[in-house]
Structure 1
Amino acid sequence: MFRFHVAPDGSDSWPGSLDRPFASLERAQAAARAVGGDAVVQLRGGTHLLTRPLELTEADSGVVFQAHGYGTAEQEEPTVSGGRPIGGWEERDGVWTAEVGGLDTRQLYVDGERVPRASISGLPGSPSTNETGYVTQALGWRNPEDVEFVYREVYPWTEARCGVAGVAEDGESAVVTMAQPGFRWAYELYNATWDGNTSRGPGLPTRIENDASFLTSPGAFVLDRSRGVLLYRPRPGEDPVRTRVVTPVLETLVRVAGARDVAFKGLVFAEATWTRPSRAEGFLHYHGSGYYEGGGVETAHLGEGASVTYPVASAVIPACVRVEDAAGVLVEGCRFTRLGASGLGISGGDGVVVRGCDFDSLSASAITVSGGRGTVVEDNWVHHVAVEYSGSPAITVSGVSGCRVVNNEINDVPHCGIVVGPGEGAHILRNLTVDTMQVLADGGGIYLSGTQGDSWDNGAVVRGNVIKDTRTPYNFALYTDYGASWVTVEGNVVMRGDNTAVLTVAPPLRNVIYRGNAWDADPVGHDSPPDGVTYEGNVTYKDEREMNAATAAIQSEAGLRRTRGR
């Protein structure tokens, strides 16, 4: 086994030894390829800035990229970053400004902490809307073409974003023209009937972001693309010379395509962005990690006169680290943080394992798995993710055969904890979710939809999970939905949710068993289960102390199996 070393203060003209390390991951990759892939690349502590994504292919099979000292008390912390430090600040009227040229980004990190874009709560006065935009009172915005409207809960589970094309002001009124085709697509997509009321289009924005006139509170920024200027209002104690400000530049940090037996251990992946929502198409979110890019819609009838339109086809929010059609890839003990899309995306392939990783401060999901077989997601801690695209689940699995999601812990997320779409043989075991559904509605700590197999032998199993504090006023903490079939839900503990579960959904559940679960409220429909549902041996506890005592063994086995520092 060959060993090569990389350090931020190394040199690519050196041999890659411990005392004379390489400077770049690309140089270490070339060295590993030269010895046939039988190599470990040791990353020293510090920030390893990428100027382009690290692309691993079949030629890189067998290579391990790991932190120096991995698994020992001397383990170092290398950060693989797609960011750009910002300097040369000028300070005026309490705002820092820096020339950034053609930089396009949606995130900013100050001393390692994400700071939001400056925003206001909505349009003033009594605005009206039409298919091209809005009429409202005078606004006085400084760079309206950079402004973005956010629409929370167009549907209870959606949060959309549309850009502004321009603002024409005439005295005390203003006409806001929205960017196309995004706003037109919003009128195509969002059409609903609820409780006898019909809505069309996105409605009024719930939040408006990214204009210099919004920059009134400390710890917020604005990117003025028209002038190529970044503006930041500092927090108390920050200094334009000493404070480290980083903006992400790359959209992909690492892509593994078609390789075998590649491993990443003990690395931090940080500072990547995703600029697609800033385009004229906007971000027309529908469900989970999916968004609309035109192509038509269909109507789902949800019973009792309720209906929504939904996309014929959806695009998926990308991940900043991608594993595509690869086999035997291991991602272990890594941290994914300060990323402007999803953290880790796995598509296709066989036997990919994600173990013992931390995910935080991500714009979208932590882990997305689509297609492939035998993926294992275990012992990961996911928290404070989906901070920009609130409908993104913490962990989402779809189209996979034999996926196992085991002993993960998820807390403080705006929508679902774990989502399982159609597939075969998913096992969702001993996970702990706490404080899910904090922003959007109609989801749960664990949510399954669609066909999960074609028999009990290859159906989904949801067992030994603990789901606590599912927050919004419309949710089902443990949620089988939208025609879920061949699912066994047993031995789970559900407490402190608005609703524990629901047995009557549209399309109806088929071949679903709820057995031996413990909760603090009866599921909706428990007293008259539909034909497709078996409901047996479940216990409802009215006293939390009694419930905790009766379920202590299940609760002790759920969540992380490793020791972690909070």
Structure 2
Amino acid sequence: MTELYVAPFGDDSSPGTAERPFATLDRARLAAQDLSGDVVVQVRAGTYALTEPLRFAEADAGRDGGRVVYRAHGYGTAEREEVVISGGREITGWREQDGVWLAQVGDLDTRQLYVDGRRAERAAVDVLPGAVTATETGYITDSLEPLSWHSPSDVEFVYRGRYPWTEARCAVAAVSGDHEDGADGSDGEGHGGDGGRAGTGGDDGGEIAGRDGRSGSTVITMAQPAFGHAMNLYNSAWAGETSHGPGLPTRLENDTSFLTEPGTFTLDRSRPGRHVLRYLPRPGEHPERTRVVAPVLETLLHLTDVHDVSFQGLVFADATWLRPSRTGGFLHYHGSGYYEGGPVERVTIVEGEAWVTIPGKSASIPAGVTVNGGTKVWFENCRFTRLGATGLEMSKGVDVGVRSCDFDTLSASAITVTGSRDALIEDNWVHHIGLDYPGSPGITLADAVDCTVSNNHVADVPHCGIVITPGRGTRILGNLTTDTMKVLADGGGIYVAGPQGDSSESGAVIRGNVIKDTRTPYNFGLYTDYGAAWVTVEENVVTRADSTAVLQVAPPLENVVYRGNFWDADPVGSDTPPEGVVYEGNVTLADERKLESATADIQSRAGLLRRRKADG
């Protein structure tokens, strides 16, 4: 085995020894290319601030049967050092004005901020003021309050629950005062005309253009193409009522006038190259003693077609995702998918009564750490935190895995595995994710073959805990989900959709999982949905859900077996199981103590392996 060393006090012109370490991981990566057999890169304690993503390609793979391991120094011992791979920039040079901290940040663009490691929320209000009417291009309100927005083109509207499982975002282009002749004050290109106002903010405020003293209404013009796409996507009928477009916003974010709650921030980008960051501090915070970090990079680590590479004991932190800002919106549809335009399809839910439109195709939220085409690539005992999109995505991998890692404070999902074979997701703790994109599941398998998700704990998430889309031979074993579905509806602690094989031998097995506290109304703790086929659901425990499970869905379930499960309430449709479902040997115990006693063995084996080991 060959050891290389990296340390914050090192020098990339050094030989990479313990006495004379490299300064950067990228230099160690290059040095490892010239070595055969097992190579261990020992990374000493500190924060390694990246100015560009770390990129690994085929030349960085293990050679001659060896592995290349990037490891926190002291890994596996009580003396393990904390190593942070950061895509953030520390903000300094604060000045105070009326209790608000201000910093000139040049061309910095970000959607997140962290203060002494704690997430700061974007400043927001919950109501678009006045009597509001939606139009094809935005809104008209009888309130003049939007004319006082400091930088309207930085304001973002959030739309929660247009469909029960969605939360979308669209940016404002301009606001304008309505003319006496009925014109909207726009010059036709999204800028405020005379009597209108677009992105005209300044460093410290300034006069409000367009406030000319006349009474009337305010026209809010939304950014395109996002708002047009939203009008195209969000259309449905239910219970005799139809809806068109995203509706009224449920939250408005990122304007100085919204900055009233301590611990919130805004970013004013109205002057190119002279962006201003504002932060309203919490009690006890002081600009000279508080560390404020703005994520800058969107990708921290990207691996393409590598093999025999591992990462052990590292922290990946401080990344953002700017696409929603660049395109003026994030049009969420389901899970990690969002709509970029193009055809939409109309799906009938109840003939002649209920239908919904869905994207013809969707894009997926990216990840701060990505593996594309890897073989025998592993992440062990790492932490993924303060990331503005998904934590880790592994696509087109073979024999890849994520073991004993922590995922927290993420804007989207924790782990996404797509188009992979023989992947293992085991013993990971996933919690407090989906903070900006709450439709995001904790863990997702998509188009996966012979992959296993076992003994993970998914907790405190806004929608589904674990999601399985069409695949083959998937195993979901011994997981624990708690406090899922805390924000959006129509999902579950474990959600399975589509065909999972072509026989019972090649199908999915959902066994020994414990699903507790599935929170929102209209959810199913263990949810086989939308044409799920060749699925065996056995020896699971579901308690404290709106509905424990559902057997009657559309398209219908085919070759699905529910056997030997324990619930505190009968699943929907279990009294008359449909033709494609076998329902046998399941036990309903409404008494919580009796259910806990009857399922003690299953519950003792579900959840994190490392906690069981720690308990002896």
Normalised by the size of structure 2, how large is the TM-score? 0.91
- Which residue of structure 1 lines up, in the alignment, with residue 308 of structure 2? 261
- Which residue of structure 2 lines up, in the alignment, with residue 76 of structure 1? 81
Matched, 1:423 2:428: no
Match of 1:150 among 154, 158, 175: 158
Amino acid at match of 1:190: Y
Amino acid at match of 2:342: G
Q: CA deviation at 1:563?
A: 3.0
Q: Output the CA distance in 1 between the equivalents of 2:343 and 2:23.
A: 49
Match of 2:321 among 274, 286, 298: 274
For residues 305-360 of structure 1, the C-alpha deviation after alignment (integer angstroms, 9 at most, x for no partner) is 22110000000000000011110011000000000000000100201010000000
Q: CA deviation at 1:373?
A: 0.3
Amino acid at match of 2:479: N
Amino acid at match of 1:307: W
Runs of 4+ displaced beyond 4 Å: none
- Which residue of structure 2 lines up, in the alignment, with residue 91 of structure 1? 96
Q: Output the CA distance in 1 between the equivalents of 2:409 and 2:91.
A: 20
Q: Output the CA distance in 2 between the equivalents of 1:419 and 1:366.
A: 12
Q: Output the CA distance in 2 between the equivalents of 1:35 and 1:515.
A: 53
Matched, 1:203 2:247: yes
Q: Output the CA distance in 2 between the equivalents of 1:430 and 1:410.
A: 12
Matched, 1:290 2:337: yes
The correspondence of residues 29-428 of structure 1 with structure 2, limited to 5 A, is 29-36=29-36, 38-62=38-62, 63-136=68-141, 137-138=143-144, 139=146, 140-170=148-178, 171-227=215-271, 228-304=275-351, 305-428=353-476
The answer to whether the 8 A contact 1:82-1:250 is kept is yes
Amino acid at match of 1:199: S
1:500 match: secondary structure? strand
Matched, 1:518 2:566: yes
Q: Output the CA distance in 1 between the equivalents of 2:501 and 2:326.
A: 39
Change (3 A) 1:9 1:169: farther
Matched, 1:502 2:510: no
For residues 52-100 of structure 1, the C-alpha deviation after alignment (integer angstroms, 9 at most, x for no partner) is 1111111111221110010011110100000000000011100001111
Q: Output the CA distance in 1 between the equivalents of 2:327 and 2:135.
A: 18
Amino acid at match of 1:127: V
Q: Output the CA distance in 2 between the equivalents of 1:282 and 1:201.
A: 14
Gaps of 5+ in 2: 63-67, 179-214
Q: CA deviation at 1:555?
A: 0.3
Q: Output the CA distance in 1 between the equivalents of 2:25 and 2:348.
A: 52
Match of 1:462 among 510, 515, 529: 510
For residues 477-501 of structure 1, the C-alpha deviation after alignment (integer angstroms, 9 at most, x for no partner) is 0000000000000000000001000
Q: CA deviation at 1:547?
A: 0.5
Q: Output the CA distance in 1 between the equivalents of 2:454 and 2:541.
A: 15
The answer to whether the 8 A contact 1:37-1:60 is kept is no
Q: Output the CA distance in 2 between the equivalents of 1:316 and 1:542.
A: 40
Q: CA deviation at 1:294?
A: 0.5
The answer to whether the 8 A contact 1:281-1:293 is kept is no
2:27 match: secondary structure? helix
The answer to whether the 8 A contact 1:32-1:38 is kept is no
Amino acid at match of 1:562: R
The answer to whether the 8 A contact 1:444-1:470 is kept is yes
The answer to whether the 8 A contact 1:164-1:178 is kept is yes
The answer to whether the 8 A contact 1:105-1:249 is kept is yes
RMSD: 1.0
1:286 match: secondary structure? strand
Q: Output the CA distance in 2 between the equivalents of 1:279 and 1:557.
A: 46
Q: Output the CA distance in 1 between the equivalents of 2:140 and 2:95.
A: 36
Q: CA deviation at 1:169?
A: 2.2
1:497 match: secondary structure? coil
Q: Output the CA distance in 2 between the equivalents of 1:474 and 1:126.
A: 30
Amino acid at match of 2:107: G
- Which residue of structure 1 lines up, in the alignment, with residue 577 of structure 2? 529
- Which residue of structure 1 lines up, in the alignment, with residue 199 of structure 2? none
Q: Output the CA distance in 2 between the equivalents of 1:40 and 1:251.
A: 27
The answer to whether the 8 A contact 1:347-1:370 is kept is yes
For residues 122-148 of structure 1, the C-alpha deviation after alignment (integer angstroms, 9 at most, x for no partner) is 201210001100001112111000000
The answer to whether the 8 A contact 1:167-1:177 is kept is yes
For residues 28-62 of structure 1, the C-alpha deviation after alignment (integer angstroms, 9 at most, x for no partner) is 11111122474211111110111111111111112
Q: Output the CA distance in 2 between the equivalents of 1:362 and 1:33.
A: 33
Gaps of 5+ in 1: none
Q: Output the CA distance in 1 between the equivalents of 2:443 and 2:25.
A: 29
Q: CA deviation at 1:280?
A: 3.1
Amino acid at match of 2:88: G
Q: Output the CA distance in 1 between the equivalents of 2:328 and 2:486.
A: 27
Number of matched pairs: 565
Q: Output the CA distance in 2 between the equivalents of 1:300 and 1:397.
A: 24
- State the percentage of identical aligned residues: 65
Q: Output the CA distance in 1 between the equivalents of 2:569 and 2:511.
A: 19
The answer to whether the 8 A contact 1:37-1:59 is kept is no
Q: Output the CA distance in 2 between the equivalents of 1:172 and 1:490.
A: 63
Amino acid at match of 1:277: P
